Amino acid sequence: MIFSKEIQPQNFAERVVWYAMTWTYGFYLLGATYIVGSVVGWILFFYLLLKLWLQDESTPEAEKIVIPWITWVWILGMLMMEVALIMGHLDYNLPTSQIIKSSIGWAKGWALIALYPLAGCLNIRPQLIYRAACVICFHTLIISPLLIAAPILHLPETLYVSPLKAVGAGLGSSFFDVSLYNVDYDGQIRQRLFAPWGPALGFVANIYFTLAMREKNQKWRWYGIIGAVYLSQICKSRLAQVCIVSTPIFIFVLSRLIRPYMLILMGSGSVLAGILSNNIINAIADFWTSFKAKRADSSRVRAALKEIAFYRAETEAPIWGHGVLQMGPHVVEFMPIGSHHTWAGLAFVKGMVGFYSLAIPMILSLFFLLIKAQTNPDAGTGLAILFILFLYTFGENLEILAYLYWPGLIMMGIGFTNNNNRKLTDNK
């Protein structure tokens, strides 16, 4: 059963999160995934404001909302993104209509990266998010025969594009279509399902994998793990496959730094690494060469995009950036400069201000969660989410995909809080 007495959503915030997650494939068929992921963050934000407004001295301690200082850092950082956006537009004399359009984009992107961790201050139990992630992965396994048969039977790649595309002005149809599979330029078949492109599906698969690992029910945990691994494979993303292996290893070590056995293992490992340093360096170099060679054209374009973005940011608009993405030259196959790399995109579009508006919250969160993860499992999960986000800053633009990986952001926000025993309150 999906529901059990202890996992059933018990308050408004939990119901919003539960149904927004478990109905993922239903929203996908409607072409509404982007809209739901963008709206839920604002719904939870206004609900939190209402709770704060009604909160007074008579409010039970367990129900009081306390926003940690690290969450405020994310809020301030994402607000600075909007400041950089406006200043970049003004520097390049872009019209007011463009500022409004870009600000709406900010509200559906960077703002969510602050709003969802803020929602972690609400009374949302981590177990509910873990189970919901497992449910999504279970649904994936159910439809897997169709995904396998579709290209064999030569079914159409895209069944239809939702009329809801009209809501997402400026976005490509891939955010609103229902796709059975995709055929790459090299003839390789890959899946993207409810994500706009293959690597994005790999991104969210890693988020689900991390959440599923924390599910207590063994049956559902295995559904989640197998489904997440399956998603990471069918998307044919190199980064997804590396991330899904490396994240559990790194987090296992980082969340146990105060354990004597881990200190002994790390000490022994450092000695061994010193002895085998040449072999390790050569192995890493060979792996990186092989990693890039798997999709050599993609690696070449991404490297060129990054180089152009950083160069033009440094020479043309180092402080506030260019305000908007710009179409790239033929050498990058006319892809937008600032895409496919969060740091390069920030430097190009929002300048040094935007770059550090993300870097500072990430660095401070790393230390905050690293310390807290030694004694708090939820903080360990939040640390894993942060690690995945950091890895994907080098392959995706985080703000564009926030509507997909938002459950991980809520979990990161829960990791920031001090409420380890969330109670079933606010049943209205």
3-state secondary structure labels for all residues of the chain: CCCCCCCCCCCHHHHHHHHHHHCHHHHHHHCCHHHHHHHHHHHHHHHHHHHHHHCCCCCCHHHCCCCCHHHHHHHHHHHHHHHHHHHHHHHCCCCHHHHHHHHHHHHCCHHHHHHHHHHCCCCCCHHHHHHHHHHHHHHHHHHHHHHHHHHHCCCCCEEEECHHHHHCCCCCHHHCEEECCEECCCCCEECCCCCCCHHHHHHHHHHHHHHHCCCCCHHHHHHHHHHHHHHHHHCCCHHHHHHHHHHHHHHHHHCCCCCHHHHHHHHHHHHHHHHCHHHHHHHHHHHHHHHHHHCHHHHHHHHHHHHHHHHHHHHHCCCCCCCCCEECCHHHCCCEECCCCHHHHHHHHHHHHHHHHHHHHHHHHHHHHHHHCCCCHHHHHHHHHHHHHHHHCCCCCHHHHHHHHHHHHHHHHHHHCCCCCCCCCCCC
Residue 260 has pLDDT above 50, yes or no: yes
Compute the distance between CA of residue 259 and CA of residue 75 in angstroms, rounded to an integer.
33
Count CB-CB contacts under 10 A for residue 267: 10
Give the residue-averaged pLDDT of 146-161. Answer: 87
Most confident segment among 69-73, 161-165, 291-295: 69-73
Give the residue-averaged pLDDT of 241-246. Answer: 88
User: Which of 141, 143, 166, 157 lies closest to 227, judged by CA?
Assistant: 141
**Is 422 contained in some domain?**
no
**Is 182 contained in some domain?**
yes
**Is 276 contained in some domain?**
no
pLDDT of residue 18: 95
Task: Tell me the pLDDT band of 151, cut-offs 50, 70 and 90.
Answer: confident
Residue 63 has pLDDT above 60, yes or no: yes
pLDDT of residue 290: 67
Task: Tell me the pLDDT band of 159, cut-offs 50, 70 and 90.
Answer: confident
User: Which of 381, 31, 296 lies closest to 177, judged by CA?
Assistant: 31
From residue 417, give the alpha-carbon distance in Å to each of 65, 311, 369. Answer: 10, 40, 10
Number of domains in the chain: 1
**Is 200 contained in some domain?**
yes
Give the residue-averaged pLDDT of 169-180. Answer: 79
Question: Which pTM does this prediction carry?
Answer: 0.89
Q: What residue type is assigned to position 89 of the chain?
A: H
Domain, as residue range, for 360: 12-270+301-416
Task: Tell me the pLDDT band of 424, cut-offs 50, 70 and 90.
Answer: very low
Give the residue-averaged pLDDT of 107-130. Answer: 94
pLDDT of residue 364: 96
What percentage of the chain carries pLDDT values higher than 90? 45
Who has greater pLDDT, 146 or 188? 146
**Is 288 contained in some domain?**
no
Compute the distance between CA of residue 199 and CA of residue 232 in angstroms, rounded to an integer.
9
**Is 181 contained in some domain?**
yes
Mean pLDDT score of the chain: 86
Residue 300 has pLDDT above 60, yes or no: yes
pLDDT of residue 2: 55
**Is 197 contained in some domain?**
yes
Give the residue-averaged pLDDT of 384-398. Answer: 92
Residue 1 has pLDDT above 60, yes or no: no
pLDDT of residue 227: 94
pLDDT of residue 28: 93
pLDDT of residue 426: 42
Compute the distance between CA of residue 75 and CA of residue 83 in angstroms, rounded to an integer.
13
Residue 422 has pLDDT above 60, yes or no: no
pLDDT of residue 291: 60
Residue 79 has pLDDT above 50, yes or no: yes
Residue 169 has pLDDT above 60, yes or no: no
Residue 427 has pLDDT above 60, yes or no: no
> Which of 228-232, 240-244, 258-262, 319-323 shows the lowest per-residue confidence on average (mean pLDDT)?
258-262
Q: Are 339 and 397 in contact (CB under 8 A)?
A: yes
**Is 295 contained in some domain?**
no
pLDDT of residue 166: 78
> Which of 109-123, 181-195, 358-372 shows the lowest per-residue confidence on average (mean pLDDT)?
181-195
